[in-house]
Amino acid sequence: MTGSERMTGSERSVRFDISEGVAELVLNRPAQLNAMTPEMVDQINAAVEQARDSARVLLVSATGRGFSAGRDIAGADPGAEDGGQVLTEIFNPMLQRVADLPFPTIAAVHGACLGVGLGLALACDVIFAAADAKFGSPFNKIGAVLDSGAHKVFVERLGAAVTLDLIYSGRFLSGTEAAAAGLVSRAVPTPELAETALDYARGLAQGPALAFAESKRLVREINDNPVTLARCLELEAGAQSRSSATRDYVEGFTAFLQRRQPTFTGA
């Protein structure tokens, strides 16, 4: 799906559009605070695959009062269902699909960002949070375990003590607090969130896509494995070798020397 083609229809729980290299995926169940059903996950998966084929940046946002309350537990069957199986078969593959995109991914978060909605935001590379956003784990109220990869990201960014405090107490971090703690990339005034995130996404779509992909792979490697300085230098040198063989590398250096803005093509 390219250009102005989009998913439409009142039944759609996800709005999707690609324009100028930016894929915009909008969660669209505002009456349910964008709580996710299996059908909604299917729509997200389809949109992400279309973005993989046609876009250079993915921007995830939401309509209504909040980003997402997580799973729509109206469809849950406590006492009969296997919660882990629900994660393994429905939600986790969607989160992995977003995390594995080879280009920049951005979440623009306002209001509640909980459960699998939190996981979706954390699966993105960059999170812009409205000052009134709410991040945390409400699972202490329903006897469930924080999921969607949040344990890993919380411990990496917040530390074990803060992670367990958030889990035990169920308290939330505002967007401003989450940015100050390093959980999200930036906090912005709520009225400026949509424009700020879209402008950022459009700027990235004009950037050196292959170099961005190399850095994304490097960050994933460093996050997921013990990496010494020597290994990091080796990885960076390999990435730079691949980058220097691209037309964007030549264009970037040439534009710098000619004192003009580069025109990157992703090649």
For every residue of 167-211, DSSP letters joined together read HHH--EEEHHHHHHHTSSSEEE-GGGHHHHHHHHHHHHHTS-HHH
Token pair recorded at residue 150 = 């949040």
Does residue 259 surpass a pLDDT of 60? yes
Helices 247-257 and 209-224, packing angle to 10 deg = 110
Is 267 within a domain?
no
State whether 215 and 140 are in the same domain.
Answer: no
Range of the domain at 71: 6-205
pLDDT digits (tens, 9 = 90+) for 182-215: 999 999 999 999 999 999 999 999 999 999 999 9
**Length in residues, the chain:** 267
Is 249 within a domain?
yes
Give CA–CA dist 121/230, Å, rounded: 32
Q: What percent of the chain has pLDDT over 70?
A: 96
DSSP-derived 3-state class of residue 49: helix
Q: Are strands 105-109 and 134-136 parallel, antiparallel or unpaired?
A: unpaired
- Of the three residues 205, 228, 248, the one that is the final residue of a domain is 205
Is 251 within a domain?
yes
State whether 25 and 113 are in the same domain.
Answer: yes
Lowest mean pLDDT among 7-11, 39-43, 243-247, 259-263: 7-11
Q: How many domains, in total, are found in the chain?
A: 2
State whether 31 and 149 are in the same domain.
Answer: yes
How many helices (H) does the chain have, and how many strands (E)?
Answer: 11, 10
State whether 178 and 235 are in the same domain.
Answer: no
Token pair recorded at residue 253 = 């250096």
Is 93 within a domain?
yes
Q: Which of 48, 195, 49 is nearest to 124 (CA)?
A: 48
- The secondary structure of residue 36, as a DSSP letter, is B
Q: In what order do the strands lie in the sheet with 57-62?
A: 6-7, 14-19, 22-27, 57-62, 105-109, 126-130, 186-188
Token pair recorded at residue 158 = 């917040």
Residue 119, sorted as left (phi over 0), alpha (psi -120 to 50) or beta, turns out to be alpha
State whether 140 and 34 are in the same domain.
Answer: yes
State whether 220 and 188 are in the same domain.
Answer: no
pLDDT digits (tens, 9 = 90+) for 82-125: 889 999 999 999 999 999 999 999 999 999 999 999 999 999 99
CATH number reported for the structural domain that contains residue 186 in this entry: 3.90.226.10
